[in-house]
Each structure stands twice: as structure tokens, then as C-alpha cells.
Structure 1
Amino acid sequence: MSTSEKTALPGNPWPYSMGYDNAPEVLEPVSLTVKGTIPPWLEGALYRSGPGSYDLKSESGKDVKIQHWFDGLAQIHRYEIQKGGRVSYRSRNTSDDLRERYKKAERVTGVTFCQRDPCKTIFQKFFTTFKTATLGGAPISGTDTNVAVIPTINFPGFKEDPAKRHKSNDGKTDSNVRNFVMNTDGNVLQELDPVTLEPIRLFTYGDIDDSLKASNLAPAHPCVDPDTNEHYTVLLTFGPTSVYKVVQIRESMKGRAHEPDLDILAEIKSPRPSYLHSFCMTKRYVVVAHWQCDFAAWGMSVLWYGNAWESFKAHDPTLKSSFYVVDRLRGRHVATFECDPFYAFHSINGFDDGDDIVLDIAAYKDHTVIGDYYIENLRNETHGKPTQQAKLRRYRLKDVTKQASLSAASPREQPTPVPALIDFELDEAINFELPSINPSRYLRNYRYTYGVNRSGLNRTLIYDRLIKVDLDKIKNGDQTNAAKFWMEDKCTPSEPVFVPTPNATEEDDGVLLSIVLDGGRRSGFMLVLNAQTMEEIARAEMPAGKIPPHNFHGVFVPSV
């Protein structure tokens, strides 16, 4: 039995529960201790997003417990890698008004993702539903909303102020960053200062275009074409017939000082309003992957229960999942493909392969995985249940032009569904989540993808390894040698972020950046890996008492 498999000694906290403790914010940058040598070309800012607080105490001393990882109060992090291999760190809580509301009410209030409130009476539920349905929700303002999932750099929904220039901790002007926006699974976004991380404002897609004011949800993950800087999302409106609006936002042809241009490329109607955390795209198409995670009662169940989790319908093994294909140029829903039911949080990449569309997705058997992330489960060393693991799966949508021609013959009808194919999937033992690729290969054919993996060798309930997958080897049937790993005892890595070496000619020539929680030392560090070999190059260790929480996603912005 390895040391990581042993039960924690009395008085020693379980090393894999550390990521779900409250993390203090660090408002002023602190220096990290660098071990190893950070490549001299690696300069810039690594942003990380996710929850940072779960346990609050009201003024009267009553405990207020946030029950689920997805509902933890937002904390955003900035690791700045400076010339000479120096690294500094700062963080900020970005939902303080919401925190104060919970403390004042002495409970979690409002609509959440998974918070259960067994004490709420039927009358209270009815009144809340009636009030919200007839009067609408309260306008968002201040920091009264939790926006903690995806950081987006240079969101095109703003007019640019030429006088506004952001500077790094060492005073260097960073022209790569015009704005910094956080996304979540709703029609709400939050602008932050890119350096101090101070909240600036909350806004909705409806603030950009009135036609989107009535929309209820949007995937936390947008798709951004790096060649055109076009920003895509999918807005869902609840109702007896739900509507998915595929939206394109881009900078105005008149320049950044003008309002952005926004087009609704397609409106897809369905009887199934579903929770979509991400979607897919290629250079030619937007693909809405409609997996099974359906809201009951046309979406009104969210208002009744006060959370999304209890409002989801049970998994139906007979209900197909769909891929809605929207032509980016023509702005039309041109084809629909179907496959056996699955659920996913994250798409990995998509690309056009001749007249086919290839989509790589981290797929689960069903959406019950969401229930595995309750904090009481993740902190439970003795009886905690390991979370359901995802498989890397490649779908192929064949002969899209042919399907588009058929649908053009009946433009008033939704395209008739045809089967989607599975090219391959990773063996179940090589589970895969929180994907990352070389950004230069996004929307293009590619060979390597990176993520996190649960080895099964340790007692962690989530994942304990970083993984590199060679997709060419998978295609050729070689699963045995398709994956490389990084793992360290009692450590929990986060989503890896790939940063390419300047002027690289090989797809995997670069580094991976991951924030790792070290449960043995009760600390954490920023890890720098060689993306080709998965061997450590350097790490930047947090000061004593400064522990970042287990977080969701990240993005690296190189310095000029």
C-alpha cells in the first residue's frame, strides 16, 4: 500500500479534501518560490477560475454551508510569469454582494445550480415561482451573481476605450489584453480588471442585443475563431417549445470604438430544454451537441426547486442525443445527426474532414455525474463515492453537404436526423476530462490533447494525474502506448493549459501549465511540464498559508 492510500492519521486532514476548503484572497501580488528553470520565452499571465468559498458564518454565528462544488463562491487567480523566470500570484473574490446576501439571510438564497433546501415550504416555492414568472428576476448589479467558470480575453461585446491600457505587476503595458470577461452557465457575464481582478460590471447578452434579453441560459464555454476573432454562443429560451439561438458576435466593421456586430445564425426549436455547458465548432460549422440533461416542465422546474440539479429529468436510455449543424457562412441549420444517449461537460476540438465533421468530446454515460460533486461527498474520506469518469470519444458526421442539400429542399422544416458515427473512443481505464490542446490546432486536424485523469492508484475521488493522449495512435488501434502521464503523491492537478514554444514546428512543442494542490504539504504550486515528454521543468510554490482552491479552467495570455 502506498503512502497516499493510507488513512490519514488523527489530526492530519485527508490530503484530497484540501481543494474544497475556503481559500483566502490575496489582493496584492506575492512572490512564489521557483524551483527548476522556467523557459526564458515564457512570459505572461495565467488566469484561473473557479470557486473559493463554501463555508460562511452569519453575523449571529450561524453556519451557512454551500453544498456543491459548482455553487462555491467565485475566486479568480492570476499567476504572472515575468522576465527572468520570476512568478507572482494574486487572487480576488468576485461575488462579495452574493456572499453578504447569504450571510444576512443565514442560508443560500436564490436560484443555484445544486443547493438543496428541504426547509422551503410548498407555499414558498409557489410564491417564488409566481413572482419570478410574472415580474421577472431582479436586475443584476454589483457582485450579486456567481460568475466563476470560463475566463475570456478580449470579448468583442465592448466598445474599446483607446485611453484604457492595462499594466502588469511590473508596470509593463499589456496591449494583448483589452478586456477580461468571466462566463458562466447563464445569460450573465462579468467584466474584471485584467490585473487587479477587481469586478467592474455584470452584464447580459441582452445588453448587447435586445433580441437576447429573454434568453435564460448560455453555455459557459463560448467558441472563438482565432483567425477571425468571431465569438459564438448558444442562447436557450425556456418554454413549451424551447429555442436555441446560435449567435455570432464580432467587432464592428467600423472599428473597436463602435458597438459590436451581432447576428443570430439560426433558431433551433426543440421540446427539450437542456443544460449545455459547451458546444462544438469547425471552420465551416457551429455544432450544437444536444446531449441528455433535460429540464422538466419546460424549464419552469428550476424556479420550483430553486436549483438546476433537482429540476433535471431522469436519464432516459431510449432518448437519442443530437448534433445540430449550423452553417457559419450562410447562417442556417443545415443538418441534424443522432447517436445513442450520452452526457458531456466539455467538447475537446472539432474540424472539417473533407465533407465530414469530426468532433472529439469527453463523454459520460449520463448526467448523474453532476451529483457526484456535492461537497459532502468530495470531503468524505471514508464513504465518499468516486466521481463518474468521462471517455474521450470521436464522433463523425458524414456527408454534411448532402444533408444540407436535402434540408434546403424543405426550408420550413427541421432537417431529418441521420445517424452519427463513432470513429473511436479511449479505453475506460484511460478516462479523460478538462481538455486542452495546442491553440494553433483549434478547429483544425490535430494529434495531441491533454487533460486530467483518475489513475485508480490513489484514494482520491476525482483525478490525480495529468494525461497526454496521442490521437494518431488511438486511430491506429494502439491504446496501450497512446497515453503519457504526470503524477505526484497526494497531489491534485487542475486542467492543463498548453503554451506553444515560439516558432515551434512540432504540434507538441511547448509547455503545460497546471495548478497543483499538494495535500501532503497542505500547499500548492504552479507546475510547468514539457508537453512532449510530460516531465517537470519547473514549479512555482505558494507561500505558507496561501493555498489556491481546486478550480475549473484557465487561460494563458503571453506578454507582448
Structure 2
Amino acid sequence: MDSPWPYVSGYDNCPEVPDPVPLTVKGTIPEWLEGALYRGGRVTFRSRNTSNDLRERYRTAEAVTPVTFCQRDPCKTIFQKFFTTFKGAAALGGSPLTGTNGNVVVIATANFPGLTDNPNETKKYNDGSKTNPKLRNLITTTDGNVLQQLDPVTLEPIRLFTYGDLDDSLKTGNLAPAHPCVDLETGEYFTVLLSFGPTALYKVVRVRQSSKGPNREPDLDVLAEIKSPRPTYLHSFAMTKRFVVVAHWQCDFAAWGLSVLWYGNAWESFKAHDPNVKASFYLIDRHAGRHVATFETDAYFSFHIVNAFDDGDDVVVDIPVYKDHTVIGDYFIDNLRNETGGKPPQMATLRRYRLSDITKHVSKTLASDSAPIPAPAKVDFELDPNINFELPSINPNRHLHNYRYTYGVNRSGENNTLLYDRIIKIDIDKVKSGDQKSAVKFWIQNQCTPSEPVFIPTPGATEEDDGVLLSIVLDGGRRTGFMLILNAQTMEEIARADMPEGKIAPHNFHGMFIPHSAV
């Protein structure tokens, strides 16, 4: 009897593991590496399904009842698993106590301003686990106006809430990027809320801790409102120390966004790609609270942004770009499960955009007291398209600053998989100098699918790439998984923590590491 295709196990449902399970460690884990890697020495594993009420409603109705990202059949696309539902908590009927009526699982974020359910003190659990006293709370976000609070140790869902619960003016927001922007130095949290209509409205929002203390209602400011004829699916955006940068690529909803309600899902609601429609970058002054400049470039699509930073009077934005949004359709599970006839998904290319002479454009905007006149964005460089790149990660200490190294996942073409099979390290300085060949290093293991590599710097490190990478890897050949620890400088394995036999780590995208020593 032929053995099953090793990669198909990544699309199976993942059973809950509510109690911590010790993992078998091979190699030596650095003594300083102590904390929690949120995904969905001593290493343990636990997982929770944070949408049990929603799953039960699906089972009872034998259909998907809320508005979803892709087709109504919940088994049709990998994005049903990762990008989930668009409706707000009230529309989902979520319980304020358990909050399991929504599937909000894309990104985990620590210490959301104003949440008080986990006070700033150590909490002990029946199994001996305890919270990090500097981890006040944990939330997850998706591509809708809905957030979910989880217990940071047990992952038990606590409640669903919306940005409208923080401020009534945000109740009309239909979508928000799954990836917020957080300034780790100031603790400020930013998002962009999209309201559908004949004129789409993007509200750039800042949430920060109240001056009265962490357990008080947070301070919330709408920094800018941007009107556009294009309501667009934005999975992420960018930020520098001076500006919020809304990258308005092309993935537009038809019928002013009402198509989502008509079709009941986003994928069927998108307009066809139009190469003649320019993509834009909107710059919002973080401190003055105003839309001060707009830049335009040729059409493209993206999910994620690597990093952005101020470079003199310019802003630099690094993005893994696709030619268009049809890549979303490439990720239907029926396609990815097709061992012999599956279509390889479109791959992303790393590209650097430069928004130049900002002071000049800001001055013109302030003088006219009207919407900024678009200026051309420049492309500084692009990585060889044959070296595809997604799920970017950098040293968190370089976030919002100039940097040299980025890490992600890559499809080699060497293995019979339609998803990623390598972890990649890119030396951006070498790419800029034209040395594409030696600019990249890889980790690969046969029949394995890595998730986003999360960079953790070595304490006291002076080199940017002095640290480790953590990735949850699906081992398709053994139908299990492991947490991989790589030396981020050499891309060589330091250690791994194997899951018990029979425990599957399905394909997963993002992760967040919270050290025990500080947050």
C-alpha cells in the first residue's frame, strides 16, 4: 500500500491540547531562551480551539453562516483557516464571557492598552503554570473589526470585542488589517479601519495607555480619515517613527464593498485585477495627526510588510509583492492537496520602495489645505524573483529602524509540495550592492514545511543577526511536528523539540515570542 503524500497532513484539523505536553528536546537550547512562542531547557506544547461555539454553529447548520474570507464551504480554502471571518463581535453573537463565537486567530499581540482582565501580577494555574508578570493581556486579531482576548497561559478565550467598543465612532468600520502596528518603545497601537460605501473611508487609529494608568480606559485618537473610490482588502500596513504608512495596493471589493454581503465571502467579491490602476502609499503624521503626503506606483498586491523606516527626508518600505491578488485563489485546499495536478501558488518577491523628499510634499499639502497631490514612489531594488520570499521577520530591535537582515519562508521547488519548504535569510546590504547570489542562506529538511521564523535576539548582542530563529515545522514524513531553533547567523540547527507521536502541527503562518524576563 502506498504511503500517503506527506504534505497532506498539514491540512487536517488540529485537536486541542489544553494541558501542557512536554516535548523531547534534541540539541542544546540556549539558557537565556525562556518565554512563550504563541502560535496558534524544557519545552511544552498546548493548543486551544478559540472558536468552539462558531464550530458548533457550523456543524448544526451544516453551512458557514457569517461572512467569511473565501467560499462558504469551510473546507474549501486554507484562508478559511487563517484569515477567518470579517464580521464584528456583535454580529457574530459572541459571548462576552467565553468569546468563542468568532474565529480570530491570525495575529497575537501582547499588552493591548486598556484591557484589565489579567492584572499586572503573577497568576498561578492548577497545572503549576504561571503568567509573566509583565504580560498584562493577550489578544488575537483577524481581518475584521473584531478582536479576541485570550488567557496568555491556557489560551482560554475570554471575550470578543470590537474597536467600536472602544469608541462609538469606530462602530461603522467593516474591516481592519489583521496585522496592527505596535511601537515597542512607546507602547502605541495602530490600526486602519475601512468603512464600505460609494466613497470608501479609511480611519487611521492610535490606541495608547491612559495617562491615568494601565487599568483605565485607553486613549484613542483618529489620526486621519482618507477617502478613496477603492475599498480594498488590506492585510497589513507599515509605520516609521514619524509616519503611519498605509500601503493601498490593489485587491478591491466590487459594488463599494456591498458585494461581500451579497456573496457572503470576500474572495468572490473582489474585482478583477486592473494593471492601469495605480497603487498608493498614504503618509499620516503620527504626531500632528494628519494625512500629509501620497505616493503612487504601478499596481501590485501584498499580504505583509517587512519593515519601514525614516531615511533622512525619505521613507523606505520593504514589501514582499505579488503581481496581483489571484494568489489568494491559489491557496484553495483542493489545489494544495492535489499531489499530481495542483497548481503552484504565485510567489512573492522582496521589493524596496522609496518615498522621497517628504518635507517638500508636506509643505505643499499644508499650504493648499487639501488632499495631498500624488508623487511617484521609486523602486530602490528588487530581489531576484526566482528567490521567492514570504512571512517576513526581523530582529524586533530594528523595527522602525534601518536594518540589514530579514528572515522568512521560501519554496525551493526541490520537494513535491505546493507550500514553503525552506527558511530563508536575506542580507539586504548585499542585495543593494547587486550581490544577489551570496545574499541568501537557507535551512531545509525533506518533507518539512516551516512556519514564519520568529527572531529572538541574544541578550546583550551587538550584531543585528546575533540570535535564534524559532519556527513550528510540520514533519510530513513522520506526520508530526517540532519546534525548530536555528542559529540566525549561520542558519544551522541548534536544537529542536519534537512533538509526541501522533500529534500533528498543521500548516500555520505567524508567531509571536514573549520572553519571561521582559515584554
Q: TM-score range by the shorter chain?
A: over 0.9
CA distance in structure 1 between the partners assigned to 2:220 and 2:465 by the alignment: 35
Tell me the SS of whatever aligns to 1:481: helix
Tell me the SS of whatever aligns to 1:440: helix
Corresponding residue of 1:151: 108
CA distance in structure 1 between the partners assigned to 2:193 and 2:315 by the alignment: 23
Corresponding residue of 1:124: none
Q: Please tell me whether residue 45 in structure 1 is matched to residue 36 in structure 2.
A: yes
Superposition pairs of residues 111-190 of structure 1, within 5 angstroms: 111-116=67-72, 137=91, 139-141=93-95, 142-159=99-116, 162=119, 165-167=122-124, 170-190=128-148
Corresponding residue of 1:99: 55
Indicate how the Cα distance of structure 1 residues 157 and 370 shifts in structure 2: closer, same or farther if over 3 A, else same.
farther
Indicate how the Cα distance of structure 1 residues 202 and 138 shifts in structure 2: closer, same or farther if over 3 A, else same.
closer
CA distance in structure 1 between the partners assigned to 2:122 and 2:506 by the alignment: 30
Give the structure-2-normalised TM-score.
0.94
Structure 1 residue 508: Cα displacement:
0.2
**Alignment equivalent of 1:331, drawn from 277, 286, 289:** 289
Superposition pairs of residues 396-545 of structure 1, within 5 angstroms: 396-411=354-369, 413-545=370-502
Superposition pairs of residues 241-320 of structure 1, within 5 angstroms: 241-320=199-278
Corresponding residue of 2:25: 34
CA distance in structure 1 between the partners assigned to 2:478 and 2:116 by the alignment: 46
CA distance in structure 2 between the partners assigned to 1:395 and 1:440 by the alignment: 22
CA distance in structure 2 between the partners assigned to 1:542 and 1:157 by the alignment: 36
Indicate how the Cα distance of structure 1 residues 188 and 318 shifts in structure 2: closer, same or farther if over 3 A, else same.
same
The residue type paired with residue 347 of structure 1 is I
Structure 1 residue 228: Cα displacement:
0.4
In 1, are the aligned partners of 2:63 and 2:73 still within 8 Å (CA)? no
Stretches of structure 2 lacking an aligned partner (at least 5 in a row): 75-86
Stretches of structure 1 lacking an aligned partner (at least 5 in a row): 1-9, 50-84, 119-131
Structure 1 residue 160: Cα displacement:
6.4
CA distance in structure 1 between the partners assigned to 2:193 and 2:120 by the alignment: 33
CA distance in structure 2 between the partners assigned to 1:311 and 1:189 by the alignment: 23
For residues 498-535 of structure 1, give each alpha carbon's deviation from its aligned partner in whole angstroms, at most 9, with x where no partner exists: 00000000000000000011111111100000000000
Tell me the SS of whatever aligns to 1:29: strand
The residue type paired with residue 510 of structure 2 is H
Tell me the SS of whatever aligns to 1:194: coil
Corresponding residue of 2:160: 202
In 2, are the aligned partners of 1:113 and 1:309 still within 8 Å (CA)? yes
Structure 1 residue 163: Cα displacement:
6.8
CA distance in structure 1 between the partners assigned to 2:169 and 2:382 by the alignment: 40
CA distance in structure 1 between the partners assigned to 2:297 and 2:450 by the alignment: 33
CA distance in structure 2 between the partners assigned to 1:233 and 1:138 by the alignment: 21
Structure 1 residue 159: Cα displacement:
3.9
The residue type paired with residue 111 of structure 1 is V
In 2, are the aligned partners of 1:161 and 1:257 still within 8 Å (CA)? no
Corresponding residue of 1:225: 183
**Alignment equivalent of 2:5, drawn from 4, 10, 14:** 14
CA distance in structure 2 between the partners assigned to 1:543 and 1:161 by the alignment: 31
Indicate how the Cα distance of structure 1 residues 349 and 147 shifts in structure 2: closer, same or farther if over 3 A, else same.
same
Structure 1 residue 175: Cα displacement:
1.3
Indicate how the Cα distance of structure 1 residues 138 and 347 shifts in structure 2: closer, same or farther if over 3 A, else same.
closer
Corresponding residue of 2:83: none
Tell me the SS of whatever aligns to 1:86: coil
For residues 463-514 of structure 1, give each alpha carbon's deviation from its aligned partner in whole angstroms, at most 9, with x where no partner exists: 1000000000001010010000000001000000000000000000000000
**Alignment equivalent of 1:558, drawn from 505, 515, 519:** 515
For residues 85-115 of structure 1, give each alpha carbon's deviation from its aligned partner in whole angstroms, at most 9, with x where no partner exists: 1111110000001100011011222211102
| More deviation, 153-162/399-408 | 153-162
Q: Quick one: percent identity of the two aligned structures? A: 71
Indicate how the Cα distance of structure 1 residues 380 and 166 shifts in structure 2: closer, same or farther if over 3 A, else same.
farther
In 2, are the aligned partners of 1:292 and 1:343 still within 8 Å (CA)? yes
Indicate how the Cα distance of structure 1 residues 166 and 425 shifts in structure 2: closer, same or farther if over 3 A, else same.
farther
For residues 71-98 of structure 1, give each alpha carbon's deviation from its aligned partner in whole angstroms, at most 9, with x where no partner exists: xxxxxxxxxxxxxx11111100000011
Tell me the SS of whatever aligns to 1:357: strand
In 2, are the aligned partners of 1:241 and 1:298 still within 8 Å (CA)? yes
CA distance in structure 1 between the partners assigned to 2:445 and 2:133 by the alignment: 37
Indicate how the Cα distance of structure 1 residues 319 and 199 shifts in structure 2: closer, same or farther if over 3 A, else same.
same
Tell me the SS of whatever aligns to 1:211: helix
CA distance in structure 1 between the partners assigned to 2:409 and 2:118 by the alignment: 39
In 2, are the aligned partners of 1:166 and 1:195 still within 8 Å (CA)? no
In 2, are the aligned partners of 1:166 and 1:177 still within 8 Å (CA)? no
Structure 1 residue 165: Cα displacement:
3.4
CA distance in structure 1 between the partners assigned to 2:418 and 2:123 by the alignment: 40
The residue type paired with residue 365 of structure 1 is K
Give the structure-1-normalised TM-score.
0.87
The residue type paired with residue 194 of structure 1 is P
Tell me the SS of whatever aligns to 2:303: strand
The residue type paired with residue 15 of structure 1 is P
Tell me the SS of whatever aligns to 1:407: helix
Structure 1 residue 349: Cα displacement:
0.2
The residue type paired with residue 21 of structure 1 is D
Indicate how the Cα distance of structure 1 residues 355 and 199 shifts in structure 2: closer, same or farther if over 3 A, else same.
same
Corresponding residue of 1:362: 320
Tell me the SS of whatever aligns to 2:43: strand
User: Which of structure 1's runs of 4+ aligned residues deviate more than 3 A?
Assistant: 136-140, 159-173
